[in-house]
C-alpha cells in the first residue's frame, strides 16, 4: 500500500513539473510574439537584405553605429567622411589652464591692409594665438569663427580659416560689397577644450538620456532609452525594421515592451568634467570670445566697373565660398538671384496648388510657424498635438495649399512625443508620391550632436536613399535641405551642442547630399554672417531670409 502511495506521489510530482515546463514554454512563446521580440528579415542601412533575429529582451546591448552592414562603397564613403573630419589636435599631453589659448592676449593682423581693394578682391588675415601667460603657442587645434561686416550697411560674410598647426592661423575673406569693411575673429573653443569635446563624443554619447513611459491599465513604468544602452539588463528593441535605425529601452519589470506609449528627453548627465577640464569652458574667458587686432581691423573697398562685376559673377563655380552674404539685411546667394517674398500674397502665389512637407527638428518647425503667422490665409488645423512637438497641419482652402510639419524619429530631445508619432524621415519620404506640386524640406542635425558621427552618417544615408528614390519616381519634386546653424554657447551647452559638434554635422550633410539633386539653404553661413547674436532658433529676420531662399527654389525668377 505504501509503495502504491509513493508511486502516486511520484507521478503527481512529475505531472506538476511537466505542467510548469509547458507553462514556461507558453509564456515564452507569447513573449516571442510580442513587440519586444521580432524575428525577421529586414533591410539594413546598406540596402541589403539581412536575416536577423532581433531580440527585444537582450543581454548584450547592440550599438547600431558599431555593428552596421555596409557595402564597400558605403564603407569607403564613411571612412572618407571620418578622415576629412579628423581635427588636427596635437599630442602634447595634459595642458594646464594657464598654457591654454587666451583670446584676450591673442591677436590678428590684416596682411595686405595697404593694398588697393576692389569688390571681389581677397583679404588675408593672420591670427597668432597666445596662452594666459602671454607666451606664443607652438601648436594649433583651436576652433575659430571669422566674418567681415559693415554695420551701417547691415552687411556680412564669413571667412575660411586655415590652421598652420604652429600657433598661427590664416583667414581668407572675399570682399563682396563696397565701403568700410570690418574684420571680426572669435575663439569658439581652445584646442584644450576641443580635446575634451572629442572625448565626450567618443566615450559618453549617452550624456543626453531619453526615457519612455510604459502603461497597461493601472500599471505604469518609466525606463531609460537610447541608441545604445550600457550594462546587461533586458532590453526592448525598437529598431526600425525598414531603415535599421537602432533604438532601445530598458525593459519594464512588469510590463511588455508593446505597452510603450511615449518618448521624452530624460535629461543631461552632470559632473562630466574634472575641475581642470572645466577651466577650458568658461563664459567670458574662452567660449566664443573675440580676438582683437594688433592694428587696423578694417579696410576700405571700392566698387568694380560693370564689366569687372559681370566677369566676377561668371567666374563663380559650384564650389563658391562663401555661398552668399548679407547686404541691407537681405541674404544674397552668389550662385543665383534670390527673390524677396515681402508680401503674404507673394508666398500664396508661389505655393498655390502645392503640398509642402517639413520634416526634422525645431529649426525647421520655425518655418512652419513663420509661414502660418505671416500668411493669413494659411490657417493651422488643430490636430491636438503637443505644443512644439507636432505633427502640425495648415491649410489654405482657397488657394489649395497644404503645409505639414513632422518631427524626425529618435534621438529627439522634445518634451513628450507619442510612440505612434515617432516616424523616421526616410519612411515618410517613401510614402510620398511626389510631382511638380510637391515640395519637401528637411532639417536634421541638432539632436545628433552628442553621438559618434557614425550615428549621423547612418541617418543621412537612409534619408538620402529615400530622397534619391523619390526623385527617381518623381523628378519634378522639389527637395530642399536646411543646414545646421551656430548657436549661443555656455559652459554646459558646449558639452552637448557645441558649434564644433554642429560644424562636423554640417560638413557631413553637405558632402553626403552633394550631387544628389537637392537644394541647400545655407543656414550655417546665414547665422555666422549676421550681426545678431547666435541662437539655436535664429531671430525672425534670419528665418525670413531662409524662407526667401527656400521659396526661391520653389518659384525661381524666370530668366
Alpha-carbon distance 44 to 21, whole Å? 37
For 97-189+287-305, the fitting CATH number among 2.40.50.100, 2.30.110.10, 3.30.110.40, 2.60.40.10 is: 2.60.40.10
540-554 and 362-374 are packed helices; what angle lies between their axes, rounded to 10 degrees? Answer: 80
Amino acid 390: pLDDT: 85
Nearest of 427, 419, 412 to residue 467 by alpha carbon:
427
pLDDT band at 443 (very low <50, low <70, confident <90, very high): very high
Amino acid 384: pLDDT: 82
Q: In what order do the strands lie in the sheet with 355-360?
A: 379-381, 392-396, 401-407, 355-360, 438-443, 478-482, 519-521
Q: For residue 396, is pLDDT > 60? A: yes
Amino acid 383: pLDDT: 87
Q: For residue 61, is pLDDT > 50? A: no
Q: 10 Å Cβ neighbour count for 209? A: 16
Q: Please, what's the largest Cα pairwise distance for the chain?
A: 122
Cα separations (Å) of 259 from 73, 220, 241, 412? 39, 9, 18, 20
pLDDT digits (tens, 9 = 90+) for 523-534: 999 999 999 999
Region 325-554: CATH code: 3.40.50.1110
- Give the residue extent of every domain in the chain: 97-189+287-305, 208-268, 325-554
Amino acid 14: pLDDT: 62
Phi, psi of 176 (to 5 degrees): -115, 0
By three-state DSSP, how is residue 346 classified? helix
pLDDT digits (tens, 9 = 90+) for 546-556: 999 999 999 99
Nearest of 543, 507, 494 to residue 523 by alpha carbon:
543
Nearest of 121, 127, 134 to residue 163 by alpha carbon:
127
Amino acid 481: pLDDT: 98
pLDDT band at 123 (very low <50, low <70, confident <90, very high): very high
191-203 and 499-512 are packed helices; what angle lies between their axes, rounded to 10 degrees? Answer: 70
Q: For residue 496, is pLDDT > 70? A: yes
Alpha-carbon distance 444 to 459, whole Å? 9
Cα four-point dihedral sign 44, 480, 120, 185:
negative
Q: What percent of the chain has pLDDT over 90?
A: 78
Nearest of 247, 154, 257 to residue 209 by alpha carbon:
247
pLDDT band at 33 (very low <50, low <70, confident <90, very high): very low
Nearest of 170, 146, 150, 176 to residue 158 by alpha carbon:
146
Please list, in sequence order, all residues whose beta carbon lies within 8 angstroms of the beta carbon of residue 99, skipping any fewer than 6 positions away: 131, 132, 133, 135
Amino acid 59: pLDDT: 25
Nearest of 196, 289, 230 to residue 490 by alpha carbon:
289
Nearest of 505, 490, 527 to residue 268 by alpha carbon:
490
- Classify strands 235-237 and 208-216 as parallel, antiparallel or unpaired: unpaired
pLDDT band at 121 (very low <50, low <70, confident <90, very high): very high
pLDDT band at 18 (very low <50, low <70, confident <90, very high): low
pLDDT band at 12 (very low <50, low <70, confident <90, very high): low
Amino acid 115: pLDDT: 73
Q: For residue 31, is pLDDT > 80? A: no
pLDDT band at 20 (very low <50, low <70, confident <90, very high): very low
Contact status, residue 246 vs residue 38, Cβ threshold 8 Å: no
**Mean of pLDDT values over 318-331:** 91
pLDDT band at 231 (very low <50, low <70, confident <90, very high): confident
333: left (phi over 0), alpha (psi -120 to 50) or beta: beta
The count of residues in the chain is 559
pLDDT digits (tens, 9 = 90+) for 338-390: 999 999 999 999 999 999 999 999 999 999 999 999 999 999 998 887 888 88
pLDDT digits (tens, 9 = 90+) for 362-374: 999 999 999 999 9
Amino acid 56: pLDDT: 34
More confident residue, 107 or 558: 107
Grid cell 488645423 — which residue? 381
Amino acid 361: pLDDT: 96
Q: For residue 441, is pLDDT > 60? A: yes
pLDDT digits (tens, 9 = 90+) for 245-271: 999 999 999 999 999 999 999 999 999
pTM: 0.86
Alpha-carbon distance 409 to 430, whole Å? 15
- When the pLDDT of each residue in the chain is averaged and rounded to a whole number, the result is 88
Cell of 405: 510639419
Amino acid at each position: 500500500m505504501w509503495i502504491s502511495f509513493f508511486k502516486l506521489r511520484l507521478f503527481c510530482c512529475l505531472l506538476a513539473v511537466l505542467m510548469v515546463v509547458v507553462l514556461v514554454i507558453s509564456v515564452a512563446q507569447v513573449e516571442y510574439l510580442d513587440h519586444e521580440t521580432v524575428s525577421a528579415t529586414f533591410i539594413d542601412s546598406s540596402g541589403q537584405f539581412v536575416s536577423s533575429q532581433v531580440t527585444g529582451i537582450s543581454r548584450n546591448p547592440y550599438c547600431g553605429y558599431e555593428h552596421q552592414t555596409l557595402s564597400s562603397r558605403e564603407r569607403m564613403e564613411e571612412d572618407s567622411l571620418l578622415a576629412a573630419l579628423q581635427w588636427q589636435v596635437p599630442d602634447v599631453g595634459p595642458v594646464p589652464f594657464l598654457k591654454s589659448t587666451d583670446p584676450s592676449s591673442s591677436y590678428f593682423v590684416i596682411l595686405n591692409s595697404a593694398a588697393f581693394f576692389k569688390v571681389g578682391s581677397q583679404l588675408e588675415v593672420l591670427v597668432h594665438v597666445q596662452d594666459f601667460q602671454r607666451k606664443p603657442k607652438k601648436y594649433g587645434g583651436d576652433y575659430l569663427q571669422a566674418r567681415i561686416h559693415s554695420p551701417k550697411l547691415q552687411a556680412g560674410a564669413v571667412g575660411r580659416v586655415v590652421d598652420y598647426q604652429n600657433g598661427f592661423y590664416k583667414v581668407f575673406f572675399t570682399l563682396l560689397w563696397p565701403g568700410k569693411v570690418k574684420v571680426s575673429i572669435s575663439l569658439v573653443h581652445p584646442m584644450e577644450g576641443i580635446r575634451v569635446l572629442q572625448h565626450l563624443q567618443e566615450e559618453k554619447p549617452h550624456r543626453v538620456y531619453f526615457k519612455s513611459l510604459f502603461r497597461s491599465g493601472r500599471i505604469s513604468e518609466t525606463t531609460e532609452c537610447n541608441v545604445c544602452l550600457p550594462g546587461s539588463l533586458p532590453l526592448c528593441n525598437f529598431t526600425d525594421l525598414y531603415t535599421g535605425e537602432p533604438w532601445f529601452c530598458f525593459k519594464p519589470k512588469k510590463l511588455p515592451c508593446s505597452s510603450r506609449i511615449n518618448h521624452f528627453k530624460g535629461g543631461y548627465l552632470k559632473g562630466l568634467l574634472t575641475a581642470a577640464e572645466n577651466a577650458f569652458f568658461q563664459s567670458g574667458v574662452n567660449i566664443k570670445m573675440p580676438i582683437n587686432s594688433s592694428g587696423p581691423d578694417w579696410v576700405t573697398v571700392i566698387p568694380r566697373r560693370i564689366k569687372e562685376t559681370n566677369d566676377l559673377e561668371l567666374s563663380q563655380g559650384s564650389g563658391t565660398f562663401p555661398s552668399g552674404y548679407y547686404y541691407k539685411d537681405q541674404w544674397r546667394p552668389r550662385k543665383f538671384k534670390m527673390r524677396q517674398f515681402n508680401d503674404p500674397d507673394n508666398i500664396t502665389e508661389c505655393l498655390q496648388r502645392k503640398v509642402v512637407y517639413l520634416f526634422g527638428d525645431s529649426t525647421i518647425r520655425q518655418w512652419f510657424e513663420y509661414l502660418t503667422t505671416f500668411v493669413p490665409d494659411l490657417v493651422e488645423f488643430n490636430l491636438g498635438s503637443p505644443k512644439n512637438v507636432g505633427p502640425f497641419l495648415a491649410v489654405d482652402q482657397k488657394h489649395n495649399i497644404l503645409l505639414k510639419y513632422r518631427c524626425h524619429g529618435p534621438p529627439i530631445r522634445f518634451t513628450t512625443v507619442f510612440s505612434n508619432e515617432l516616424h523616421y524621415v526616410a519612411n515618410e519620404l517613401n510614402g510620398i508620391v511626389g510631382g511638380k506640386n510637391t515640395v519637401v524640406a528637411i532639417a536634421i542635425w541638432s539632436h545628433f550632436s552628442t553621438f559618434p558621427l557614425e550615428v549621423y552618417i547612418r541617418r543621412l544615408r537612409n534619408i538620402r536613399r529615400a530622397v534619391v528614390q523619390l526623385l527617381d519616381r518623381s523628378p519634378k519634386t522639389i527637395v530642399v535641405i536646411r543646414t545646421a546653424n551656430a548657436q549661443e554657447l555656455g559652459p554646459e551647452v558646449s558639452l552637448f551642442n557645441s558649434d564644433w559638434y554642429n560644424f562636423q554635422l554640417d560638413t557631413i550633410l553637405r558632402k553626403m547630399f552633394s550631387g544628389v539633386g537637392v537644394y541647400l539653404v545655407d543656414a550655417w553661413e546665414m547665422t555666422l554672417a549676421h550681426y545678431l547674436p547666435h541662437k539655436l532658433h535664429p531671430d525672425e529676420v534670419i528665418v525670413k531670409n531662409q524662407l526667401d531662399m527656400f521659396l526661391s527654389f520653389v518659384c525661381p525668377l524666370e530668366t
